[in-house]
Amino acid sequence: MTIPFDQPVPREDTCSVKFDARKAVFGRDDVIPVWVADMDFAAPEAVTRALMERAAHPVYGYTLFPDSLYQSIIDWFRTRHDWVIQREWILMAPGVVPSLHAACMAYSEPGQGVIIQPPVYPPFFSSVRQSGRTVIENPLVLEQSGGEGAHYRMDIDHLEACAARADARILMLCSPHNPVGRVWSKEELEAVLAIARKHDLVVVSDEIHCDLTFSDRPAHSVLATLAGPEDALVTAIAPSKSFNMPGLGLSALVIPDEKRRKAMTTVFQSMHMPQCNPFSIAGFEAGYREGGPWLDELMGYLQANRDYVEKTVNQRLPGISVSSPEGTYLMWLDCRGLGMPDPELKRFFVRDAGVGMNPGISFGEPGRGFMRLNIGCSRSVLTDVLTRIEAALAANR
């Protein structure tokens, strides 16, 4: 390994949400922050170099999206995911979360239904509700638990029933899934497409974790590579998770169908977005152009972190279990064996262990009794986290 992922990068006093919001979120500023889904690693050197080169030009005016930016997307997904994207399919966007909100406005009317699959990233809920639409929950099924942790699958029969509702218009898919770490199989994705086709649903597929899959687990299938020209599909992509630069705030939507692309463009124009940030453009393109070797080393490091956490949790933390995620740098700790209500569970980790994680309940009702752990940090940080939790469990026996 040539990249020093083991070397911590100080992030305090950089206006980092993950570090500098600890007091506001957890009530104390000395918890180890393993919550917000960004990593503690320095971005690829190519990204930093591109930003510095752009900063060297002292005028930061209104900026166009250059053709080279679009080509970087096309090249990356053709090479890495065997997905052939046409230039005209791409809409630049200021982030995936605004795009979820915009999709609700573009493809449904107020009061109509949007299907989501909890436990799932909280903005899936808020984008639906805050746009005046109705959340339709299709909960994932917990296949097994206990010593081997939790493993989830889609409830395809229930998804069919949700899609058959007269008010259902959109299905929001998280693929790979945050927080449970599933990389959906081709069979599952094809079932989703068949249901959407049958019930005339627009599928909004959030695939920003698509590059973060482990070599010893199933490969990620971009939903669009399984779809036909008749499928109503919007795919959200970004280099933000892949190269650890979510603060740059730029993503893209790939929409092959001209009618639906126009509908999304109309919503974007009504909201006066996206504005083109010259630094976001420089970092975005540099990641997709030159970040591949960095990403490959990152995934090896994250895989070792994943295996270390899984072994340690299942062997040394009684009442807590975890299974290996197939993708993402997030792990879904099953803490139901501790027998604590959710408010008490959060207090235990914050007050007794000094560890700041995302409570599972924030991902929907099926997240009760779980916590989300971000393993995108140096091994020494994870060792400290697990040692603190082990000591707190011992003290509470």
pLDDT tens across the length of the chain (397 residues) = 689 999 999 999 999 999 999 999 999 999 999 999 999 999 999 999 999 999 999 999 999 999 999 999 999 999 999 999 999 999 999 999 999 999 999 999 999 999 999 999 999 999 999 999 999 999 999 987 555 567 899 999 999 999 999 999 999 999 999 999 999 999 999 999 999 999 999 999 999 999 999 999 999 999 999 999 899 999 999 999 999 999 999 999 999 999 999 999 999 999 887 678 999 999 999 999 999 999 999 999 999 999 999 999 999 999 999 999 999 999 999 999 999 999 999 999 999 999 999 999 999 999 999 999 999 999 999 999 999 999 999 999 8
- Give the integer Cα–Cα distance in Å for 44 and 283: 10
Question: 46 and 286 in contact (C-beta within 8 Å)?
Answer: yes
The domain 58-290 is placed in CATH, from the list 3.30.390.50, 3.40.225.10, 3.20.20.70, 3.40.640.10, at: 3.40.640.10
In the CATH hierarchy, which top-level class contains the domain 17-44+292-395?
alpha beta
**CA proximity to 101, closest of 131, 122, 121:** 131
Could you give the residue range(s) of every CATH 3.90.1150.10 domain in the chain? 17-44+292-395
Instruction: Work out whether strand 141-144 and strand 151-153 pair parallel, antiparallel, or are unpaired.
Output: antiparallel
Helix (H, G, I), strand (E, B) or coil at 199: helix
Model pLDDT, residue 355 = 98
Model pLDDT, residue 1 = 66
Could you give the residue range(s) of every CATH 3.40.640.10 domain in the chain? 58-290
Model pLDDT, residue 274 = 67
Residues in a beta bridge with 325: none
